[in-house]
Structure 1
Amino acid sequence: MMEHAIWTALERGCQVVVLGSAFDPKMQQHWIDIELSLRHQYHDMARLVFAYDEPLSHLIYAGSDMLLIPSTFEPCGLTQLISMRYGTVPIVRHTGGLRDTVFDVDFDGERAHSQGVETNGFAFEGNDAGGMDYALHRAIDAWYNDKGFWNGLAQTVMEQDWSWNEPALTYMALYHAAKER
């Protein structure tokens, strides 16, 4: 699905950066071949970096407008939280920690409100390219067609606090109240 998303984004005029590595040498070679094809067809519009590079990942978060996370399993999900601190809007498959922290701007208003937060990204269900395409196209359309909305969304994701500060304070207050009994 990631390969499909890369081509889809490029066809829509987006720049694409992928950072990561594959443990399987055949898979690694497959991605190297894709990068060569991308460079030939799209020149400087796409870069695939085959490495684990934490400092580079933060530069990518900071320089990106959106981040696609099509994980099939995500027990926690830190990538979207880090990206949101930089103002990068997440596009995620609704699973695990991604579902807990990303609320689709078009479909999750009620769920977000029940959690005391604002909607903050784009999401899709299932393991098919169609669902991912729908979320990806909605995000790209918003970026191209409504800069005011997009800038407000980027501001929202930066301001949301997903740290342990508030839960820790609540827990401490509960602990002290129980201790005084």
Structure 2
Amino acid sequence: MKRTKPTPGTAFSALTSDGRKSHKAIKLGGEALLKHSSPEMEVYFSHPQKKRPPSTFAAAILMPIFLALFVINSQTIINFFDLTAESSSIISLSTMLISSIFLGPIPYCLGRGNVWGLLLIHYFYSFNLSMSPIAICIMVSEIIKSRALAPHFIVLAMLLSLIFLCSKIINGKSFNKMVRFYANRRIALKALQVRGHITNKS
């Protein structure tokens, strides 16, 4: 039996695939880049002050949701090992710092139309999906052992809700529209530079 990897969703996977192709075309430049652009697209993005970009709300709300998802997963696993308060605090702060550093570049990359924004989301979301079954098993075992069911049920419900929300956002139309807008703008502006260079040489 093949082991299936956790995937962020069909729409997001298609978005990432297109982003990789665009990134490769930009790196190659020349004709490879121009094939990903069109005169209409270049005219559209050549006057940015006249174009109202799509809402970035989806990307903005995704960051705190990602952070909350990571905190619940990591804290559930850390607490399971029954460490001293000092050790637990150090590990918790370290994981929070690492996740913040990891998430920090995402809005910048997405706004620049860089595929790394999507790749960071993919890696972070997949990592959380890998941790979530462990955290859920720990929560379920705590629910079985504990008489205070309500707190554990609330955290479990929050975890499942956050996973659902993340998937809904990154596969949603608003996020898709925003990412494609900035990716297409990057392609168009790079293509304009290439066309200008070709014109100057001729």
Determine which structure has greater relative contact order: mean sequence separation of CA pairs < 8 Å that are 6+ residues apart, divided by chain length. Answer: 2
Larger Rg: 2
TM-score normalized by the length of structure 2: 0.27
Quick check: which one's strand share is greater? 1
Higher helix share: 2
